[in-house]
Amino acid sequence: MSGIDIPCQIISDTSIKIHFNLEKSRGKIRPKSIHRSEVFSITRNGLEEVLYVKDTVFGDDLSVQEMRIFIAGEKDGRTNYNTMPTMLVGMALAGTAAYFAEGAFMGTLAVPLVYPLFHLLPTIKIREKTITDPNHRYNEIYATGYEGVARSRKLLAAFKGVLIGAASGYLLYRITPG
């Protein structure tokens, strides 16, 4: 349901769980299982079996086609949304703050505590070049899927940037004579 394709060999498919073998990057095979409700569809021999069912009781309010669009948004948000500017700005701000705070505890941690919070407020801008299928432009369902994944990636990038920046600024202050 997250838009991630998992190439694997299905061992068994019960009414509750799907058990499969997943080949890791070094060729090691790991047995895994996933609840059927977390899987949109299974493709075997080129034929797709859709497991997703619209069920408003469980919060699955979208039709199968709408869910495909939502998942496409999640997939594009995961693969195409650029978080590098957020991380670099966080590194620069936190590094500068930690250095000029002269290693003081609160001065070093002020930016890492505040900067990521600013990324919860603004909307995520979906750039046209990040949309894989042009038919999804101006689609609200696609945008909802895209924004959820992009926002979490942006928030993680902000945290990563400020932590690296704060540590670097603190270390730079400690190793420079003065």
Residues 104, 30 within the same domain: no
Residues 42, 128 within the same domain: no
Whole-number mean pLDDT of the chain?
90
Residues 91, 131 within the same domain: yes
Domain that holds residue 22: 1-51
Please check whether residue 59 lies inside any domain of the structure. no
- Per-residue model confidence as pLDDT tens digits over 41-85: 998 888 998 988 888 777 778 999 999 999 999 999 999 999 999
Residues 74, 47 within the same domain: no
The angle at the Cα of 87, spanning 138 to 104, to the nearest 5 degrees, equals 140
Count of domains observed in the chain: 2
- Per-residue model confidence as pLDDT tens digits over 102-150: 878 887 888 888 898 888 877 889 999 999 999 999 999 999 999 999 9
Please check whether residue 61 lies inside any domain of the structure. no
Q: What are phi and psi of 29, to 5 degrees?
A: -100, 130
Please check whether residue 134 lies inside any domain of the structure. yes
Please check whether residue 62 lies inside any domain of the structure. no
Residues 131, 105 within the same domain: yes
Please check whether residue 146 lies inside any domain of the structure. yes
- Per-residue model confidence as pLDDT tens digits over 5-43: 888 888 998 888 999 998 888 888 999 999 988 899 998
The reported pLDDT for the residue numbered 178 is: 65
